[in-house]
Amino acid sequence: MRYAISYVSTATKSLNNQEIENILKNAEVYNNQNDITGLLLYSEGNFFQIIEGETEKVNFLYKKILNDYRHKDIIQLFKKPIKKESFDGYKSDFISEDARYNISRLQNYQHYIEVLDKPTQKAVSNILRAFLV
């Protein structure tokens, strides 16, 4: 069985941009090698993440993420089974000042949320919009 977990969180204050880039890059590499798919975005001090995959793998990873000192105030948005096989791989992005206000980026992320049911896709789109503008 596959399922998806999504949350938002706040980065620990002391993190610099390089440390954030490292989190994003390492997540992308590890997840792509381990058949975990979804999306991890960072913008203005906040993370938004979806992880999707086999139950044990997702649980194992999520436990590690929950215990990671590099972020706090983790608010789980949903945790639900997924019918379709997978997202398109794993994607991480740092939304810098320059990249903000660029709503067309929303389309780049659309196919990473297609396995979700329609109402959840809508909710995620709204959250992404808030991240992007």
Closest CA to 54 of 17, 28, 85: 85
- Among residues 61 and 115, whose Cβ is nearest to ligand FMN? 61
CB of 30 to ligand FMN, least distance (A): 3
36 by Cβ neighbours in 10 Å (0-12 / 13-18 / 19+) ranks as buried
Please report, as ranges, the residues that interact with ligand FMN according to CB under 6 A.
9, 23, 26-27, 30-31, 40, 47, 49, 51, 61, 64-65, 68, 70-71
- Distance CA(61)–CA(45), nearest Å, equals 22
- Distance CA(62)–CA(127), nearest Å, equals 20
- Among residues 4 and 51, whose Cβ is nearest to ligand FMN? 51
- Among residues 33 and 104, whose Cβ is nearest to ligand FMN? 33
CB of 68 to ligand FMN, least distance (A): 4
Structure-derived torsion over alpha carbons of residues 107, 124, 48, 81, reported in degrees to the nearest 10: -120
CB of 111 to ligand FMN, least distance (A): 18
